[in-house]
Amino acid sequence: MRYISTRGSAPDLDFTDAMLAGLARDGGLYVPESWPVMRAGDMSALAGLDYAEVALRVTQPFIGDSINKETYGDIVAETYKKFTHAAVAPMKELEPDLWLMELFHGPTLAFKDYAMQLLGNLFNHALTTRGQRVTIIGATSGDTGSAAIDAMQGRDAIDIFVLYPNGRVSEVQRRQMTCIDAPNVHAIAIDGTFDDCQALLKAMFNDTKFRDDISMSGVNSINWARILGQLVYYFVAGAALGAPDRKLAFSVPTGNFGNIYAGYVARAMGLPIEKLVLATNANDIMSHLINTGVMTLGDVHPSLAPSMDIQVASNFERFLFDLLDRNGSRVAQQMAKFTDTGELALDEKGWAEAKSVFTGFRLDDAGVLDEIRATYAATGELLDPHSAIAVAGARSKRKDGTLSMDIPVVSLATAHPAKFPDAVEKATGITPPLPPHMADLYERVERFQVLPADLGGVQEFVRQTLKGTKA
């Protein structure tokens, strides 16, 4: 399997090189040169398998000859050992054919663990095998940073820097990043929004001298291996609900478009997904795109679902690549126009194709609280704000006929309610406790640096920190 850039002018790479590179040299994102297809018999055979075995069968085609099959099997088996539920991603039926898939049983209580634990093990294998060292720099709206830090802390061949928007993540999210006592971990609070953090990250990747000087790599969902790790639970849900003989749908809380894009990949591989509900908070640039065909950049508004407080969704470029018939130069033109004007319009063909896969849904903070309250009253389940948006989206699209009532709909619960206790308490009067392994989180010492959203200043901090760690 070879990987190509969405902008068409970077060299194609194998899986390991694409993973270590993160972002392509031309500013594009790596995607497989073609989609592997799962035959119906292979898909049926997933039923009853444990999570790790499904993961191995689904993801192996994307690895190709880059990693020995036996070695990759060991990596996958190791990946899920820190998850606290035997099923890894258990499902609960909230009402007939409306399911909740709990993606918060990893070490940092968010869906990012499912991909990041795999990525950490893949990085460790690649760097150990090659005798290399890298500097990972990531940007987070909350959950990516903590998951990345957990996966990378203490690794001898890795230094990791995580940029997060100062004051715009929950206290639990912040402490999961700042309370790690590991010499290779560096948390940076940026005075700005997540989009500012993401812009800094992309600028550092595009500064080839800086990138090469520090051996920079990335773990944001711009890294293809992140998409690979998120792909698995779509097939796990499908196998549990009768695929390939039965269609299903998913409702996905959406910020940076990585998680829902993994659903798109699963669909491209043959999983019979009737529709993907693209569920957003008030920062609705992506649901607006699906509903109108136009993506218009606006201001980021803080919300009860801060991991979705995003305007520029990086992974949309991967989907756009397919919409534009995999023409890298057209993608580069469109993305340059969006950068210059703040607007990107799909043509009629592209918009029709997007609507055939996705349906957009928006929920403001008042609606989030209502959904948390209603779901708890009806089922006894506590939802975090992001998961509440997914459940509300599923219910809304079933009610208005967008989703067939005779197919199961799986809402992805992307974070443990204890990560957002204030919102849950406001809606229900209940403060969800942290699980035992994190019970002392509020008592731990924080370690972080506050910096302005200035590229030169962040780069200098990284350089000086690396000098200090290597001294």
Asked whether residue 117 is domain-assigned, the answer is no
pLDDT at 329: 97
For 110-170, where are the alpha helices, taking DSSP H only? Answer: 112-130, 143-152
* Structural domains in the chain (count): 1
CATH number at residue 315: 3.40.50.1100
Asked whether residue 204 is domain-assigned, the answer is no
pLDDT at 190: 97
Asked whether residue 54 is domain-assigned, the answer is no
The active-site residue, picked from 92, 112, 247, 349, is 112
Report the C-alpha gap between 216 and 160 in whole angstroms.
10
Asked whether residue 382 is domain-assigned, the answer is yes
pLDDT at 471: 45
Asked whether residue 136 is domain-assigned, the answer is no
Question: Which residue ranges of the chain lie beneath pLDDT 70?
Answer: 469-471
Residue closest to 100 by CA, chosen among 91, 108, 87: 91
Tokens matching residue 358: 């996705």
> Taking the CB of residue 77, how many other CB atoms lie within 10 A of it?
15
Q: Which residue has the tokens 């500012």?
A: 196
Tokens matching residue 203: 């600028």
Report the C-alpha gap between 102 and 100 in whole angstroms.
6
Range of the domain at 295: 91-107+224-428
Report the C-alpha gap between 176 and 292 in whole angstroms.
38
User: What amino acid is encoded at 414 in this protein?
Assistant: T
Tokens matching residue 49: 């398998």
Report the C-alpha gap between 419 and 172 in whole angstroms.
5
pLDDT at 142: 78
pLDDT at 470: 55
Q: Which 3 state secondary structure label does DSSP give 4?
A: strand
Asked whether residue 158 is domain-assigned, the answer is no
* Active site annotation includes 275: no
Cβ atoms 40, 229 nearer than 8 A: no
Asked whether residue 60 is domain-assigned, the answer is no
Residues 82-103: tens digit of each pLDDT = 999 999 999 999 999 999 999 9
Characterize the bridge pairing of strands 91-95 and 98-102. Answer: antiparallel
User: What amino acid is encoded at 81 in this protein?
Assistant: K
pLDDT at 109: 95
Distances (CA, A) of 286 to 277, 390, 395: 11, 14, 19
Radius of gyration in angstroms for the set of CA atoms belonging to the chain, rounded to a whole number:
21
Asked whether residue 279 is domain-assigned, the answer is yes
